[in-house]
Structure formats: structure tokens, C-alpha cells
Amino acid sequence: MTSGFHILIVDDEPNIRSGLAKGLTKEADLIETAGDVNEALDKFDAGNFQLVIADVRLPGDRDGLDLVALVLERRPETTVIVITAHSTVETAVEAMRRGAFDFITKPVDLNLIREQVRIALGHHRLRTENRTLKDRLADAGEISGIIGNCAAMQDVYRQIRQVADTDATVFIQGESGTGKELIARALHDLSGRSCGPFVAVNLGSLPETLLESELFGHEKGAFTGASRQKPGCFEQSRGGTLFLDEITEIPAKSQVDLLRVLESTQFTRVGGEELLSSDARIVSATNRDIQHLIDEGTFREDLFYRLNIVPIQIPALRERRDDIPLLVEHFLKHFCQRHNRPAKCVADDAMHVLTAAGWPGNVRQLRNVMERLVVTVTEDAITAEKLPAELRPVAHSESNRVQTLAEAAESAEKDAILTALAAADNHREHTAKALAVSVRTLHYKMNRYGLH
């Protein structure tokens, strides 16, 4: 469908049709004509007209006044101007009553109708601007900007709505990049605590020595460098929500401390004696297989029970492929606006690849890919060949040769590293974490496979 300002002219007299069409060429991007109501409706339905100019007297059993109603019934935002040789007040009133924008008498004064068309065009622009604004607001209105329509996501929304306004402790599980932090924020925004603070702390990024002070705060002089008293996350999130991200990463000792604080809601700052309390609502998250960590003995089962009052599981992107086109369009629009690029579209072949890709980095990876495409592709349409190689299916050129088991294991390992690197945008720490190895091991393997 072409965009722009399209006019449909409906009159039974060929001379008037062609005269009007010629006279208005400069005002429109496309002009089509029809001789009666049926032809007009066929063309209207097939096209994208913002303005219809219709004669009242038309052959057949339906006239121009009927057409006004029929057009507006189909697309209420259309502007309709009615023309008639029988300029009577009654016809004018009836046309306006049915929703016509204006009324013009024959013989048509071309200058006058041009003026009307320009006014109609102004209205059209205003309306489209209003609509895109409304679309943006509607996007923001979807649970704090969470995109996804599939059954599993609907289920997630239902759970969010169900528990948001309670103080129940929520445990969010999902692979890296599935939107756990987004969901934690949604829980906060939809709760009665939304005016209070939302405090997020990434427990995976804190060295053990700082963890306690970060969570519970410290008194002045509690340790070298503690030049003044500092409140911790529990204190800062009073009246709000405390998001404990990457909860599985905290060391055994801190697990015990955390459990005690969660059970008593009381704590002291490091180096302090004053017993403080916090009413913060606790939301925690992990992208690791927590059951495995419990079985292994690295994560305390009692702490897990305390955190896992309401579990929310977010599906991986590859488990909800139906949502991929939606996300693609969303990020495309978002980044075109953000980077001041003209609107782009995604060609069918590209959408096919995007929908079929593995997305180990989930929505975050998709978001990064779309941003890169918006910035780097200069054409209007994003075609499959513009997509990063990591998304395209791997060609198994050597697959006929029998591999040794060791070779097979190495090649699988190499593939896994490449995929994880791509998913994390080459961020080494994130890649190592996703692969559940240390950064050192990752570097060692990358050297070994020549992946630098």
C-alpha cells in the first residue's frame, strides 16, 4: 500500500471526473475515479483514500449521500466532500448530518475545491499525527512496555496483575535477556508502592566484601574507606520494591545473612548496632537453573523457599516465535525514531530468518540486532542479506565426514562460544556467565579455537 494523500473522485459524468482529477493532481499523491457507488466502494476498499469527493446524484439505487455513510462506516477517519448541482439547504444539511466534511455546488469552482482539499489534507495530517501519538501511548500502556502476545506471555501478564498489588515475594526465572528486570519494574509500577522507590541491585557484579555493605549499609568508619555512614539497599527501598538480581551469585555466608533479614525484616548496618527494619517488597531473579544449584549445594534451599513464594517463569524467545514479528516491528519503530531515521520495513525473507533464528540472547539480542540494522541499513527495506551472519542457519558443509567424538565435542563447544559471544555483543563477562564458565576459561577456549 502506497502512503501519502489519496483522493477518490466519484461522479457519473466523465468530463467532471477527468476535469477534477486534472485540476487536483498537484494536491494529491494519487487520484482515482469511479462512476457509481458500487465502483466507488470497490476502489475505496482496495485502496487507502483519505479524501472522497462525491457527486450526490449518482446512477443506481444508492446515491452520494448513501456513499457518505458507507465510506465513514468503513473508515471513520476519511474526509468526504459532497458535490451537487441541486444546491438546496436540505441536501447540504443531510450530507453534513451523515458526516460529510463539506459541501460544494456545481458548477465546481476549481480554486474553491482546491482550497477545500488543502483544508482536508491539513485535517488528515493532524489526525495521523494524533494517531501515532496515541499508538505510542498505547505501547507504553501495555504493562510498562512489555511486548508479546503469545499464550505464555499472556500468562505472565496475568500473574503480574494477580500479584502486583500484594506484598508477596516474587521469584522471576528466565534466560538472559528475556525481560526479567522489565517484569520486576512492571510489578513495582502496578503495585500500590509505585510512588515509592524501585531499587535494583545486581548481586552478581558485587565482590563479596562489598555485598554486605551494599545490602545493609555501613556506619562511618566501619572499614577502611567508609568515610561516612551509607544506607544500604534494604533501607533505600523502604516503602518500595527491592529487586535482587542474579540472586544465585551470592556467596554462602551472605545467603545466611539474607535469609535472616528476610525472615525478621530487621538488620543492622555494617559496623553498627542500631536495629533497622525494612518493609520493602522483595523481587528476585536468576537466569541460572536454580534447582541444579540447590541439588549441587551451592544455593540454600531454605533461602529459595523464602524467595520463591510466587514464581514467574519467562519463556525464552525461541519458545514464543509468534511474538518475534511484533518485537521486530516494535524495535524497528523505536530505533528509527530514536536515531532520526526514516521509517523502514522488514522484507519477507528477512522476517523469515528473524523468526527462525535461535536467539540465545533472547529479546536483548533481538533489540541489539534491530538497533544495528536501523543504523547501518540505508535502504528502506531490510532484506535477509543485511542480517548478521550469526542469525542465518549454519550450513553443514562438512557434515558427511565422520567426526571423532572429540572433534564433535570441540566443534559443538566452538559453536556454543560463538553463539554466546554474539548474543552478548562480544561482552566477555556476560558470555562467560551465559556459558557458566569463568572468564579465564572462556579466554583459554577462545585462544584454543582461534576466536579472537
Ligand X SMILES: Nc1ncnc2c1ncn2[C@@H]1O[C@H](COP(=O)(O)OP(=O)(O)OP(=O)(O)O)[C@@H](O)[C@H]1O
Closer residue to ligand X, CB minimum distance, 174 or 240: 174
How many residues of this chain bind Mg ion (CB under 5 A)?
1
CB of 237 to ligand X, least distance (A): 18
Length of the chain equals 452
Closer residue to ligand X, CB minimum distance, 177 or 217: 177
Q: Which does 388 bind (CB under 5 to 8 A by kind): Mg ion, ligand X, none?
A: none
* Stretch of residues binding Mg ion (CB under 5 A), selected from 60-68, 166-174, 180-188, 426-434: 180-188
| Cα–Cα distance, 195 to 190 (Å, whole number) | 10
Count of beta carbons in the 10 Å neighbourhood of residue 280: 24
| Contact call for residue 364 and ligand X (CB under 6 A) | yes
Count of beta carbons in the 10 Å neighbourhood of residue 45: 11
CB of 249 to Mg ion, least distance (A): 12
Place of cell 496515541: 134
Q: Which does 410 bind (CB under 5 to 8 A by kind): Mg ion, ligand X, none?
A: none
Element (H, E) at 7: strand 6-10
Q: Which distant-in-sequence residues (6+ apart) come within 8 Å of 186 by Cβ?
A: 143, 144, 146, 160, 164
Q: Which distant-in-sequence residues (6+ apart) come within 8 Å of 110 by Cβ?
A: 19, 20, 23
- The DSSP code for 31 is E
CB of 326 to ligand X, least distance (A): 9
Alpha helix segments (H runs only) across 290-389: 290-296, 301-307, 324-338, 348-356, 362-376
| Contact call for residue 146 and ligand X (CB under 6 A) | yes
Task: Choose, by CB under 6 A, the member of 17, 68, 91, 148 that binds ligand X.
Answer: 148
Q: Which does 119 bind (CB under 5 to 8 A by kind): Mg ion, ligand X, none?
A: none
**Which residue has its beta carbon closest to Mg ion?**
181
Task: Choose, by CB under 6 A, the member of 39, 94, 167, 181 that binds ligand X.
Answer: 181
| Contact call for residue 288 and ligand X (CB under 6 A) | no
CB of 233 to Mg ion, least distance (A): 16
Q: Which does 247 bind (CB under 5 to 8 A by kind): Mg ion, ligand X, none?
A: none
| Contact call for residue 104 and ligand X (CB under 6 A) | no
CB of 148 to Mg ion, least distance (A): 17
| Contact call for residue 371 and Mg ion (CB under 5 A) | no
Place of cell 482529477: 21
| Contact call for residue 367 and ligand X (CB under 6 A) | yes
443, 451 in Cβ contact below 8 A?
no
DSSP string, 383-398: -GGGS-GGGSPPP-TT
Q: What is the dihedral of CA 257, 258, 260, 262, to 10 degrees?
A: 160
Q: Report CA 248 to chain centroid distance, whole Å.
A: 28
CB of 325 to ligand X, least distance (A): 13
| Contact call for residue 181 and Mg ion (CB under 5 A) | yes
Q: Which does 217 bind (CB under 5 to 8 A by kind): ligand X, Mg ion, none?
A: none
Q: What's the angle, vertex CA 347, arms to CA 343 and CA 349, rounded to 5?
A: 160
Build a one-symbol-per-residue string for 233-272: x at contacts with ligand X by CB under 6 A, - elsewhere: ----------------------------------------
C-alpha grid cell for residue 347?
522484507
| Contact call for residue 147 and ligand X (CB under 6 A) | yes
| Cα–Cα distance, 16 to 240 (Å, whole number) | 69
- Output the CA–CA distances (angstroms, integers) from residue 94 to 86, 88, 97, 231, 431, in the order listed: 13, 10, 5, 71, 69
How many residues of this chain bind ligand X (CB under 6 A)?
16
* Stretch of residues binding ligand X (CB under 6 A), selected from 174-182, 254-262, 379-387, 435-443: 174-182
The residue type found at 447 is N
Report the interface residues with Mg ion, using CB under 5 A.
181
Report the interface residues with ligand X, using CB under 6 A.
145-148, 174, 176-182, 287, 363-364, 367
